[in-house]
Amino acid sequence: QKEVEQDPGPLSVPEGAIVSLNCTYSNSAFQYFMWYRQYSRKGPELLMYTYSSGNKEDGRFTAQVDKSSKYISLFIRDSQPSDSATYLCAVRGSGGSNYKLTFGKGTLLTVNP
Amino acid sequence: GAGVSQSPSNKVTEKGKDVELRCDPISGHTALYWYRQRLGQGLEFLIYFQGNSAPDKSGLPSDRFSAERTGESVSTLTIQRTQQEDSAVYLCASSLRGPPETQYFGPGTRLLVL
């Protein structure tokens, strides 16, 4: 079993739709949860960063972590064509080698105008 | 200020040749990371440098891969005797200090081994 599972999509939605992106992970030691956005031929950029369980909101983006079910989500409200990108979830532990990010495969999102 | 830069942006090489990839981190960032992103796969951790400490090379896939960093500046990732399975995007990231500082990624070097 991979440490982080993410449906690669692709996911295509109309402009204005609510988008839900999800990952599951296997190691309960993971404490930090991140979402990165990667535009075509660019490096990933950090979008949301959450420690432990709970919700975090930033504008149109909401990140959710449910440690009991080892499930992390990213919601995008009022999606825009500029949101079209690959979204990568990443997790990290809090112990000695906590600099190692473990990534999902990424979900390719297209928002159609 | 400038972000993380990488060169070359694209590299095509023949199987068996050596390649060298370069990363210029954000000025003042003490931590530097290399990742590999193969088609349809997530990013794989390769190596981590933090200041003058010994690097963590545990992610390097074989002894054909090596990396160096001069102080807290430029890093080079070298792949010797390249194989077709080495074809991937090689991403470099830097952070101001070690974790949990945010990692800022460069645009990557796209390596194609024919």
Chain B CB contacts of A45 under 8 Å are 104-105
Among A24, A37, A42, A101, which would you mutate to test the B interface (most chain B Cβ atoms within 10 Å of its Cβ)? A101
Confidence at B99, pLDDT banded by 50, 70, 90: low
Q: A82: phi > 0 → left, psi -120 to 50 → alpha, else beta; which?
A: alpha
Q: Establish whether the linkage from the previous residue to A14 is cis, with ω within 30° of 0.
A: no
Contact at 8 Å (CB) between B106 and A45? Answer: no
Distance CA(B7)–CA(A61), nearest Å, equals 33
Among chain B residues, the shortest Cα distance to A104 is held by: B42
pLDDT the model gives residue A95 = 65
> Is the minimum CB–CB distance between A95 and chain B shorter than 8 Å?
no
Q: What are A54-107's pLDDT values in tens digits?
A: 899 999 999 999 999 999 999 999 999 999 999 999 998 776 667 788 899 999
B99 compared with A86, residue with greater pLDDT:
A86
Distance CA(B49)–CA(B13), nearest Å, equals 27
> Is the minimum CB–CB distance between A113 and chain B shorter than 8 Å?
no
Among chain B residues, the shortest Cα distance to A37 is held by: B105
Confidence at B40, pLDDT banded by 50, 70, 90: confident
Among B41, B91, B103, B104, which would you mutate to test the A interface (most chain A Cβ atoms within 10 Å of its Cβ)? B103
> Is the minimum CB–CB distance between B107 and chain A shorter than 8 Å?
yes
> Is the minimum CB–CB distance between A6 and chain B shorter than 8 Å?
yes
In A, residues 23-82, which contact B (CB 8 Å cutoff)? Answer: 32, 36, 41-46, 49, 51
> Residue B62 corresponds to which tokens in the numbers above?
């074989």
Residue that has been written with the tokens 């990108």 in this structure? A85
Q: In degrees rounded to 5, what are phi and psi of residue B10?
A: -135, 145
